[in-house]
């Protein structure tokens, strides 16, 4: 199985810096693990959108999968309470 390319949304770095320190490493690991497996067991497809989500504690990483080009586009990162608003 070949590795996938992960593209970071331009606002993702800013969102990561706002997180509590205890979550930053775990979230970065989860994003990098998507390059190995874009469909980890903890991932789910979001309803009504062409996005997937992976859970890291109380935070969610939303991403899009481009099967043809083997690219993962990160879309949004945030607390489970508000990450799905304004999709």
How many CA atoms does the CB half-sphere of 27 hold within 13 Å?
25
List the chain pLDDT tens, one digit each, 87 residues: 568 999 998 889 899 999 999 999 999 999 999 999 999 999 999 998 999 999 999 999 999 999 999 999 999 999 999 998 887
Which domains are delineated in the chain?
A: 5-79 (3.30.2310.20)
> Token pair of 14, please?
């800013």
> Token pair of 47, please?
């309803």
Looking at residue 87, what is its pLDDT?
79
Looking at residue 2, what is its pLDDT?
61
Looking at residue 10, what is its pLDDT?
87
Containing 22, the helix (H) or strand (E) segment is helix 21-34
Pairing of strands 71-79, 52-56: unpaired
């Amino acid at each position: 199985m070949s590795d996938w390319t992960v593209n970071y949304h331009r606002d993702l770095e800013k969102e990561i810096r706002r997180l509590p320190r205890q979550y930053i490493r775990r979230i970065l690991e989860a994003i990098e693990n998507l390059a190995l497996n874009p469909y980890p067991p903890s991932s789910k497809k979001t309803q009504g959108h062409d996005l997937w989500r992976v859970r890291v504690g109380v935070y969610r990483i939303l991403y899009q999968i481009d099967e043809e080009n083997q690219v993962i586009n990160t879309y949004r990162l945030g607390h489970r309470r508000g990450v799905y608003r304004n999709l």
